[in-house]
A and B are shown apart, each in its own frame.
Chain A
Amino acid sequence: MIEMNPTIGSTVALRKAELDLLLADLRSNGYLTVGPHQQDESILYQEIEGLQDLPRGFMSEQGPASYRLIQTGRERYFDFIPAAQSWKQFLFPPCHLLYSAHKETPGEQIQEHAADTREIKAGKWSVKENDSPAPRYALVGVRACELAAISVQDKVFLRPDYYDPIYRARREELFILAVNCLHPNATCFCVSMGTGPRHQGGFDLCLTELDDLFLVEVGSELGRSFLAHRNFYLPSAFIQTAANQAIGMAASRMGRSLDTSDLPGLLIENLNTERWNQVAKRCLSCANCTQVCPTCFCWDAADQTDVLGKHTRRERLWDSCFNPNYSYVVGGNTRPNIRSRYRQWLTHKLGQWKAQFGVLGCVGCGRCITWCPVGIDLTEEVAAIRQEVKA
């Protein structure tokens, strides 16, 4: 090993076993390491303790409404693309307790609360805020499209005029161990969306996986500080070229493409084309696409109240524009039909999002295509609308 200090922007090589030590280092520094794990015939993101929890030798074969894991027998941890879930579950938890309240009745013994819990009296109600500290996550194996999705959600939840405190607390503490994609799927179109497959920064460390080593690019001071303790070495020019070629090959093997040249106008100006009626006949309004989407941000808040009405837990929950209640007001429902719900989803994601946040809401990960039970493909829908408008 040569004595040296990696600098930000430099690339070094790491034996695969060293990644295990890096993960251990993150954990001993208070990070909760989450990453891909093979479970239930798919790859899920969940807590991982080390290299042994990563899915070794798996690839995924995805298509509209189809997902299969295949074993390759190769010593590769990151060949599967993309995982079933996105990372948004960690920064934007699917269910988060905001506060709970308890109604006191006269003569009742008040339960003692832990001393560190902030409690407010509100008339008959005593309100306990959720004081649990935000977990410090280290995300292991973030793809370029997924990192782009995090930056899209940053624009939603960390606006200059307001921010979501739950998201911010998690985002500020985040460690991002990225990975470059080498084997895109039939549902991938990150090249069309300009988000991948090669990482362009925004990570702490970024891996490119070869058969017997990782190339590691240093993206931040934080990343450098963790890498400095590892047994890295300088990669040969041959290895670097091989890695670059592999990423370049990935870019040329995108399974799908989406022409973004006339978005958002194409969708916003064609809110009454026939294609909306056709897709509405297939769409089940099940909301799968919005749950797997790494950028969909809609949420609801609801009181979970006991039957006596004495205890209530107010929670923030993921919601979806496909839920019938989503647009309910007392006067009626703004979008009672599937046609208007699908149209809302697509014209928002590939249209109005741009006016709201300066970017499109799609990063090209293809999850909505894979996990749609009837295989609706947004790239096909956009192309069909373009075709119809042209005709």
Chain B
Amino acid sequence: MTTNLIEMAPYYAGSTERLLLPTWAEVVKITPEAEGVSTFALRFIDPEVQKHYRWLPGQFNMLYVPGYGEAAISMSSDVESSNGLVLHTIRHAGSVTRAASRLKIGDVVGLRGPFGSAWPLKEMEGMDVVIACGGIGLPPLRGALYSIIREREKYGKITLLYGARTPKDLLYPNEYDDWVKAGIEVQSTVDRGDETWDGRVGVVPMLFYHVRVDPHKSIVIACGPEIMMRFVIYESLARRIPAEHIFLSLERNMKCGQGFCGHCQMGPYFICKDGPIFPFNKLGPYINVEEY
């Protein structure tokens, strides 16, 4: 699914007539999630935009910090959240996202979006779903989790496989109980444990060995570091899950979000417009070509 931005204009932050001009939004709440990761709750200053803005789980915004620039950040909130705030969980790693770490409540940032493709929620209905993610890969999937939980009966078995570097890096830890109660199996792992950790130690793809997967009715959706995704693909294919049922959210240098600045290309695709979420069968020829 690609977004037709002209058709979407009423629901869209940004401007079709002004290249890269964002819509301004106020920081309402900042929640520290882990070392170097926080969630920003944003509200559009223009109430009309606030009322009409819509997105789908898995899509992203270009978030502009004045004086620094833009970064592509996935929305991590529920698309039907009652207060209408748009949450962006940000790892403060690059120049723009580090500038974001200095934002205070009441500061103003720019948003353009939503951009890109969404998780295949429709296709997932009636299927078992394995959600595999690592580190900052969970926030883009949290919206999908919320949507699944809201209509839990529509889906089969849901398994979340999540890993982080250390126990302190696991995001949203106080939500896992709610997810389990809502009928989601949560499997977590860390690269390095500490004195508080009595869970698994190892990489995310290894968690596949603790899940029973029915290849005929399973969909895998994954987001995380490239190396993790390669092994998620491997483990999924090894379990005879068809390539078109493995969905990956890819990261590239996204600048415009509209498929014409060129930076995020991979083969024939502009990741920002044709992705970021792709079924693996579309990526097959390119994803394993070194540096392509």
Residues of chain A at the chain B interface (Cβ within 8 Å): 98-99, 101, 103, 120, 122-125, 127, 129, 156-157, 159, 161-166, 268, 271-272, 297-303, 305, 309, 312, 314, 316, 319, 321, 326-331, 334-337, 339-340, 343-344, 348, 352, 355-356
Given contacts A303-B67, A330-B93, A348-B265, contact A123 B260 (CB under 8 A): no
B258 at the interface (CB under 8 A from A): yes
Chain A residues closer than 8 Å to B68, beta-carbon distance: 303, 305
B17 close to A165 (CB less than 8 A): yes
B252 close to A329 (CB less than 8 A): yes
B238 at the interface (CB under 8 A from A): no
B253 close to A337 (CB less than 8 A): no
Which residues of B in the span 244-287 have a Cβ within 8 Å of any Cβ on A?
Answer: 251-253, 255-256, 258-263, 265, 267-268, 270, 285
A331 close to B108 (CB less than 8 A): no
Given contacts A123-B108, A161-B5, contact A326 B263 (CB under 8 A): yes
B69 close to A301 (CB less than 8 A): yes
B81 at the interface (CB under 8 A from A): no
For B253, give its contact among A120, A123, A328 (CB under 8 Å). A328
Chain B residues closer than 8 Å to A302, beta-carbon distance: 69
Cα A159 to Cα B7 in complex, Å, equals 13
A161 close to B2 (CB less than 8 A): yes
How far is the CB of A190 from the nearest CB of chain B, in Å?
24
Chain B 14-57, CB-CB to A under 8 Å as 1, else 0, gives 00111111001010000000000000000001000000000000
Chain A residues closer than 8 Å to B156, beta-carbon distance: none
B123 at the interface (CB under 8 A from A): no
For A124, give its contact among B20, B108, B292 (CB under 8 Å). B108
Chain B residues closer than 8 Å to A330, beta-carbon distance: 91, 93-94, 97
B265 close to A344 (CB less than 8 A): yes
A336 close to B291 (CB less than 8 A): yes
Cα A340 to Cα B18 in complex, Å, equals 34
Cα A328 to Cα B264 in complex, Å, equals 10
Chain A residues closer than 8 Å to B253, beta-carbon distance: 326-329, 334
User: Closest chain A residue to B8 by CB distance?
Assistant: A161
How far is the CB of A325 from the nearest CB of chain B, in Å?
8
B107 close to A123 (CB less than 8 A): yes
Given contacts A122-B108, A124-B108, A334-B252, contact A352 B268 (CB under 8 A): yes
Q: Can you list 22 A-B contacts with CB-CB less than 8 angstroms, sorted by A residue number?
A: A98-B19, A99-B21, A101-B66, A122-B66, A123-B26, A157-B260, A159-B260, A162-B4, A162-B258, A271-B289, A297-B260, A298-B263, A301-B255, A303-B67, A303-B69, A312-B67, A319-B261, A319-B262, A319-B263, A326-B263, A334-B252, A356-B268
How far is the CB of A350 from the nearest CB of chain B, in Å?
13
A298 close to B261 (CB less than 8 A): yes
B177 at the interface (CB under 8 A from A): no
Majority secondary structure of chain A interface residues (helix, strand, loop or mixed) = mixed
User: Closest chain B residue to A356 by CB distance?
Assistant: B268
Cα A356 to Cα B285 in complex, Å, equals 16
User: Closest chain A residue to B93 by CB distance?
Assistant: A330
Of the listed residues A120, A271, A329, A331, the one surrounded by the most CB atoms of chain B closer than 10 A to its CB is: A329
User: Closest chain A residue to B108 by CB distance?
Assistant: A123
Chain A residues closer than 8 Å to B20, beta-carbon distance: 98, 301, 314, 316
B70 at the interface (CB under 8 A from A): yes
B226 at the interface (CB under 8 A from A): yes
How far is the CB of A198 from the nearest CB of chain B, in Å?
30
Chain A residues closer than 8 Å to B107, beta-carbon distance: 123-124
Cα A90 to Cα B143 in complex, Å, equals 43
How far is the CB of A301 from the nearest CB of chain B, in Å?
6
B252 close to A161 (CB less than 8 A): no
A343 close to B255 (CB less than 8 A): no
Chain B residues closer than 8 Å to A272, beta-carbon distance: 289
A327 close to B94 (CB less than 8 A): no
Chain A residues closer than 8 Å to B258, beta-carbon distance: 162
Cα A340 to Cα B93 in complex, Å, equals 25
Of the listed residues B2, B94, B253, B270, the one surrounded by the most CB atoms of chain A closer than 10 A to its CB is: B253
Which residues of B in the span 73-108 have a Cβ within 8 Å of any Cβ on A?
Answer: 91, 93-94, 97, 106-108
Given contacts A122-B110, A125-B108, A312-B66, contact A344 B292 (CB under 8 A): yes
User: Closest chain B residue to A158 by CB distance?
Assistant: B260
A165 close to B16 (CB less than 8 A): yes
User: Closest chain A residue to B226 by CB distance?
Assistant: A331
Chain B residues closer than 8 Å to A331, beta-carbon distance: 225-226, 251
Cα A34 to Cα B263 in complex, Å, equals 30
A-B contacts besides A297-B260, A298-B261, 8 pairs, CB < 8 Å: A99-B21, A122-B108, A161-B2, A165-B19, A272-B289, A301-B20, A330-B91, A335-B291
For B18, give its contact among A129, A156, A162, A268 (CB under 8 Å). A129
Chain B residues closer than 8 Å to A316, beta-carbon distance: 19-20
How far is the CB of B165 from the nearest CB of chain A, in Å?
14
B66 close to A300 (CB less than 8 A): no
